């Protein structure tokens, strides 16, 4: 579930790391969690994010660097 869907479906959960909504346990990185993770990452020189679903096809793919 993407964040905008979570807000639409479980708006009360948006500010929490874990919430029970309509019989469903919702886990997410709340703003406070993201701030804490960012501070931790800064101590190690930063982070990099990459989403497999946004990768390019074929030889341009970042999944296989052998070719």
pLDDT in tens, 23-42: 888 788 878 888 999 999 99
Asked if 9 contacts 1 with a C-beta cutoff of 8 angstroms, the reply is yes
Query: Measured between alpha carbons, how far is 28 from 11 in angstroms, rounded to an integer?
Result: 12
Q: What is the pTM of this model?
A: 0.47
Mean pLDDT for the chain overall: 79
Question: What are the structure tokens assigned to 67, written together?
Answer: 């070719």
- The residue with tokens 């929490």 is 16
pLDDT over threshold 70, residue 65:
no
CA 34, 17, 5 angle in degrees (round to 5)? 90
DSSP 57: S
């Amino acid at each position: 579930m993407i964040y905008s869907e979570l807000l639409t479906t479980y708006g009360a959960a948006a500010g929490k790391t874990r919430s029970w909504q309509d019989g469903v346990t919702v886990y997410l990185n709340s703003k406070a969690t993201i701030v804490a993770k960012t501070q931790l990452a800064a101590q190690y020189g930063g982070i990099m994010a990459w989403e497999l679903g946004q990768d390019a096809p074929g030889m341009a793919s970042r999944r296989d660097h052998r070719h």
